[in-house]
Chain A
């Protein structure tokens, strides 16, 4: 294709001490594409996402964002991270800061925006996602779902090129999951490039352009949601999906 992919991962290897967790990942994500990552716990989904924004150093392989190799020597790590937004499963928000401050911290201190600029932008984002009235609250006053939505807003405030979502609903009570999923839906509809690691199969099927099944450190199977969910080729994929069905999550 003519334009560089938003995100390209080439033969990524990652080990923790002697244990190799990622054994050669290849993945390409185009602009505005949403890729869903599924797989069992321990398959390396979180690690993969953390490698993309260099929260984990990479042992071998290369990662490109908008054509720029971020795994090259001498790359300014902080600048890269400003372009890649990530939201975790838990412990996201800074509990000693208000929602507003949580959202404006990055733009002010990392992007160098002025306070008024950052606050105006933050207020707008919070409004868009129905959190305007929580602006001056501390995270302890928010429900889990609201907190995760703020976490997503906080990542958005940095105007990232790519958003990585690492099982962001796994720690939520079921009734709060929907509001977060709706936010993600809206982001996708707005054209945000995203890689989403999730257990929510129905959601993944709905929203992803492509699904990757991560198993034992490699992307075992990749394809459209229909391909993966309805007619998986690999036996391990089938077994994984079966276990999900048995657990009543699909």
Chain B
């Protein structure tokens, strides 16, 4: 080789090929503390205690606090309502689990429909786009209302009257629209060279989607997928407007009987308790996938 200077060292591609230091990637909140040592820790601890302490002090000494405490944090009402609410909550769980399964499937169909290339597929693309536009436009509560009260009113033989049925149908219709867009974003985020590599092996478009694009797309959008799933879990409460007693409605009933809002606090706690582990689980999945994804940059 002519010339003595060594060539420029390869620079990592921006936005993707950084490999984080190995070790605990878990808590980003506390990470700076570990980095900087004991003095920082002391400052952090003191500042946390002071801020939260002041906040709690301000709230608890406000003039309205005793009333709020009685209206929202009444131990007796809490005890009375928690059991009943948890019992009814199993109905919500049933609804959102069943709905989620169908949502994930229908949304994938819609996303793939919309991603199809080729002029012959235009009607499918239009259909998928119209569907997502429509069901993202109409508020979920309206869809449940219209289907739950309207469909049985048609008095057509064979059309189910069950509140749960129509609630699940409505939730599936609405959430598939949102999740389809999430999938679509995931599909589009898969680098085109992945598709090129798969097609170059002689794989058909369908198999490329199935083995190469979709698995990667789904892994990439796990956080927004979880977001929508969490939203779905909350919206399962909407079946209550059809008259069906699920957890929120149960909370409303107890609240109205006692003129007290504590049952809502109890329900909120139930939701918190189930949502936080879900979020941590997805964090773990994402971290595991991140490690594998680093490399697609071809370093």
Interface residues of A (CB under 8 A from B): 50, 53, 55, 78-82, 84-86, 88-96, 105-106, 109-111, 138-140, 142-144, 147-148, 151, 154-155, 158, 171-174, 202, 245-250
> Top 3 A-B pairs ranked by shortest CB distance?
A90-B298, A248-B3, A82-B202
Q: Is there an interface contact between A140 and B292, defined as CB atoms closer than 8 Å? A: yes
Q: Quick check: which of B52-60, B188-196, B273-281 contacts chain A, the rest being far away?
A: B188-196
Given the known inter-chain contacts A202-B1, A250-B2, please indicate yes or no for A92 contacting B211, CB distance below 8 A.
no
Q: For window 276-299 of chain B, which residues contact chain A by CB distance below 8 Å?
A: 289, 291-299
> Considering the chains assembled together, what is the distance between the CA atoms of A151 and B4 in angstroms?
32
What residues of B have a CB within 8 angstroms of the CB of A92 in the complex?
193, 197, 298
Q: Is there an interface contact between A91 and B202, defined as CB atoms closer than 8 Å? A: no
Closest chain A CB from B100 CB (angstroms): 22
Q: Is there an interface contact between A105 and B5, defined as CB atoms closer than 8 Å? A: no
Q: Is there an interface contact between A109 and B207, defined as CB atoms closer than 8 Å? A: yes
Given the known inter-chain contacts A96-B219, A138-B292, please indicate yes or no for A81 contacting B199, CB distance below 8 A.
yes
Q: Is there an interface contact between A140 and B295, defined as CB atoms closer than 8 Å? A: yes
Q: Is there an interface contact between A110 and B203, defined as CB atoms closer than 8 Å? A: yes
Q: For window 167-221 of chain B, which residues contact chain A by CB distance below 8 Å?
A: 191, 193-194, 196-204, 207, 211-212, 215-216, 219
Q: Quick check: which of B6-14, B37-45, B111-119, B233-241 contacts chain A, the rest being far away?
A: B6-14
What residues of A have a CB within 8 angstroms of the CB of B194 in the complex?
91, 94
Quick one: which of B196, B199, B207, B292 contacts A95, CB cutoff 8 A? Answer: B292
What residues of A have a CB within 8 angstroms of the CB of B7 in the complex?
174, 247-249
Quick one: which of A94, A110, A142, A248 contacts B202, CB cutoff 8 A? Answer: A110
What residues of A have a CB within 8 angstroms of the CB of B215 in the complex?
96
Closest chain A CB from B32 CB (angstroms): 26
Closest chain A CB from B143 CB (angstroms): 35
Closest chain A CB from B205 CB (angstroms): 9
Quick one: which of A79, A144, A250 contacts B299, CB cutoff 8 A? Answer: A144
The B interface, classified by DSSP as helix, strand, loop or mixed, is helix
Q: For window 1-32 of chain B, which residues contact chain A by CB distance below 8 Å?
A: 1-7, 9-10, 13
Write the chain B residue with the least CB distance to A91. B193
20 CB contacts below 8 A, A to B, read A80-B202, A82-B202, A84-B200, A88-B193, A91-B194, A91-B297, A92-B298, A94-B216, A109-B203, A110-B201, A140-B291, A140-B292, A140-B295, A142-B295, A158-B202, A173-B299, A174-B10, A248-B1, A248-B5, A249-B3
Given the known inter-chain contacts A95-B295, A248-B4, please indicate yes or no for A78 contacting B203, CB distance below 8 A.
yes
> Considering the chains assembled together, what is the distance between the CA atoms of A91 and B194 in angstroms?
6
Write the chain A residue with the least CB distance to B8. A247
Write the chain A residue with the least CB distance to B290. A140
Closest chain B CB from A110 CB (angstroms): 4
> Considering the chains assembled together, what is the distance between the CA atoms of A144 and B207 in angstroms?
27
Closest chain A CB from B293 CB (angstroms): 6
Given the known inter-chain contacts A91-B297, A139-B292, please indicate yes or no for A173 contacting B9, CB distance below 8 A.
yes
Q: Is there an interface contact between A88 and B197, defined as CB atoms closer than 8 Å? A: yes
Closest chain B CB from A92 CB (angstroms): 6
Q: Is there an interface contact between B296 and A91, defined as CB atoms closer than 8 Å? A: yes
Closest chain B CB from A174 CB (angstroms): 7
Q: Is there an interface contact between B216 and A95, defined as CB atoms closer than 8 Å? A: yes
What residues of A have a CB within 8 angstroms of the CB of B292 in the complex?
95-96, 138-140
> Considering the chains assembled together, what is the distance between the CA atoms of A95 and B201 in angstroms?
16
What residues of B have a CB within 8 angstroms of the CB of A245 in the complex?
2-3
> Considering the chains assembled together, what is the distance between the CA atoms of A166 and B42 in angstroms?
56
Quick one: which of B204, B291, B296 contacts A78, CB cutoff 8 A? Answer: B204
What residues of B have a CB within 8 angstroms of the CB of A144 in the complex?
298-299
Write the chain A residue with the least CB distance to B194. A91
> Considering the chains assembled together, what is the distance between the CA atoms of A86 and B201 in angstroms?
8
